[in-house]
Structure 1
Amino acid sequence: MTPSHLQPALYAGVGCRRGCPVEDLDALLRHVLAQHGLPLAAVRGIASLSRKADEPGLRLLAERLALPLVLLDAAQLQAFEPLLSHRSATAYAHCGCWGVAESCALALAEQQHGSARLAVARQATSNATVALACAV
């Protein structure tokens, strides 16, 4: 196993329906990491839309994992549209960006490192989406 200081820093973008339980978000994030052989210790932050600031599941997820939760405006996410693996007209109609999880992950990774790429494209359940980004 790679020592934690040698693991690439990962940033999780999370989108969810209103009232999505923390257990669903936690399970999806852990599933995505395990599916790609990535350790939870590599995740350095969680990002979502600013309109989800009052979403208990997101706040609890960040607390549970002792990670910062960064909330971003849809306008901040527009620049990442060309990097998305999937563009959702529904997401755009509801929140003003083409993909919440991927855009948020990319934006947070770029904030931290100056450039970013998707490490894991969005994975979805009926309640939530998660994507992972890292520095280029």
Structure 2
Amino acid sequence: MLPDWLPGWCQEHLGAAPAGMLFGLEQISAVFGLRLTSGTRVVVKARGDDGRAVSCVAAQAQLADRGFPCARPLTPVVAVGSLAVHAEEFRPGGDVLHGDTPDVAVRYAEVFAALTAGLAGVTVAPVCPRWRRSTVPRRSW
């Protein structure tokens, strides 16, 4: 079931209202796969706004621009009450690799290496703006 705010948000930020739901997941954040009245399929993500979403979505956009195979953000992060909301491309397919074999470990390492290389030189606001170097407790040994 779609939250009450979502149809109007889609109309305002994507130019079309939801015509159907492809999927919906709710854990730490809420994720809605939608088919819009325009025929476009999108994913809308909503999470508690802890200040990280803007930087994370900016990094995701730069990764997509650099060719990393991730969904390209379609909107900036928008505040909806206490939520940080954005839309991104719908990219069906792909599987989660399960197991602990060396082949699975190598594949995950390859993806992590590509992600790390793709983030090289990416500049975004710090993802934990409430943490400042001066407020981090120091250990004395």
Q: TM-score, normalised by structure 2?
A: 0.31
- Larger Rg computed on CA atoms: 2
Higher RCO, Cα 8 Å, sep 6+:
1
Structure (1 or 2) with the greater helix fraction: 1
